[in-house]
Amino acid sequence: MKNIRQETLAHVKKLLIKVGSAVLTGADGLDLKIIDSLVAEITELVRQGYAVVLVTSGAIASGKNRMGIVGKLKSMPEKQAAAAIGQGRLMRVYSKAFEKNDLCVAQILLTLSDLTDRQRYLNIRNTLSTLMQWGVIPIINENDTVAVDEIKFGDNDNLAAMIANIIEADLFINLTNTAGLHDCNPSESKKARLIPLVRELSEEIEAIATDDTSSVGTGGMKSKVIAAKKVTVSGIPCVIAPGKRKKVLADILAGKEIGTLFLPVADRLNSKKYWIAFTLRPRGRLVIDDGAKKALLEKGKSLLPSGIIDVEGNFALGDPVSCVDAEGITMAKGLVNFSSDEIRKIMGMKTAKISQILGHKDYDEVIHRDNLAITENNPKIRI
């Protein structure tokens, strides 16, 4: 009989693999041995029929090493300059290693703003799917050289979680420099025990992980757990595993107990709501009354003009906004069918009055329920 790991991993075909800087870099910059062995492992998986997309860090670490800089880089221009030096080197190493195995690679560099724009998001999805059909390995990193805070993913764990969702991966493998998630910080306590299976990503589990990072990576265990949450809510299992372990990928897929497996939630968030909840940043707020709050939270209804009591910020049709109650607590995030100026004119009114006031009425709802992700009391979105 199969155990829960084997059962969860049995039907995996499409893999998102993320490799952190701490796995890829040694004292002398990029660790070519590790990269070669990971590439050999991935090649073997591709030969067995798996589709693989790789999200890799290592650009900044490699550039920094080339410049002979020791310790963490402090300023943004320094990090961006190091990334500009290192990204080409990183790709050259991957490209050489995959070519040796007769596999072709493609480089994709992204900033968050590439994914918040729906059109660009869909284009990236189509590009990735074409590359996969062609049997090419997409190698993705953040476009560090141009990303400023507002358009940053923050860390590659977050970027990888979003890509896993875009390609509808069957499994997200996050390769790191620890054995997985422990019940307390293993670098602080010898008693730390590995947690092999997380059935439900509760607040307690989230609280275990700390922000500690290595001197080369950006995200600590906390960002890995948040990334695990982001994929498991969209139905994708996640394994956080030791990237330097021999045969790590093959053994994970064989269902061996390696790292921490996070099971996907049963009632998954669809891809559009995931995009609204996790990728978009709200441009304004709609304050809603108790009736609307009930309609949204308990009945799964759309937001109508009659339930809106105030509008904050300036935004256009199609923009993301958050819905808050009179106390300012966020209930939901959604895409508006009217601009902020229009909503100011129709708030509190019956739907039938919209065309009379605005001179047009393309929609009955201010936010349609299909474009609304409920965040209040929704453990799936509580991040």
Q: Degrees (nearest 5) of the Cα angle 255, 19, 148?
A: 140
CB 43 within 8 A of CB 199: no
Per CB under 6 A, the segment of 58-66, 165-173, 301-309, 317-325 that binds ligand GLU is: 58-66
Considering the rule CB under 6 A, would residue 60 count as an interface residue with ligand GLU?
Answer: yes
Considering the rule CB under 6 A, would residue 31 count as an interface residue with ligand GLU?
Answer: no
Sign of CA dihedral 18, 176, 153, 207: positive
How far, in Å, CA of 294 to CA of 364, rounded? 18
Per CB under 6 A, the segment of 3-11, 52-60, 290-298, 331-339 that binds ligand GLU is: 52-60
Specify the residue, 20 or 29, whose C-beta has the smaller distance to ligand GLU.
20
How far, in Å, CA of 189 to CA of 205, rounded? 17
How far, in Å, CA of 238 to CA of 137, rounded? 20
Give the amino acid at 293. Answer: K
H or E element in which residue 88 lies: helix 76-100
Considering the rule CB under 6 A, would residue 144 count as an interface residue with ligand GLU?
Answer: yes
Q: Provide, rounded to whole angstroms, the least separation between the CB of residue 192 and ligand GLU.
A: 22
Per CB under 6 A, the segment of 51-59, 91-99, 171-179, 340-348 that binds ligand GLU is: 51-59
* Single residue of 142, 170, 342, 365 touching ligand GLU by CB under 6 A: 142
Neighbours of 256 (CB within 10 A): 14
Specify the residue, 13 or 92, whose C-beta has the smaller distance to ligand GLU.
92
Closest CA to 138 of 109, 96, 111, 113: 109
How far, in Å, CA of 145 to CA of 258, rounded? 35
* Single residue of 8, 57, 111, 302 touching ligand GLU by CB under 6 A: 57
* Single residue of 61, 167, 249, 332 touching ligand GLU by CB under 6 A: 61
Specify the residue, 223 or 302, whose C-beta has the smaller distance to ligand GLU.
223
Q: Provide, rounded to whole angstroms, the least separation between the CB of residue 232 and ligand GLU.
A: 20
Q: Which residues bind ligand GLU (CB under 6 A)?
A: 20-21, 57-61, 83, 141-142, 144, 155-156, 217-219
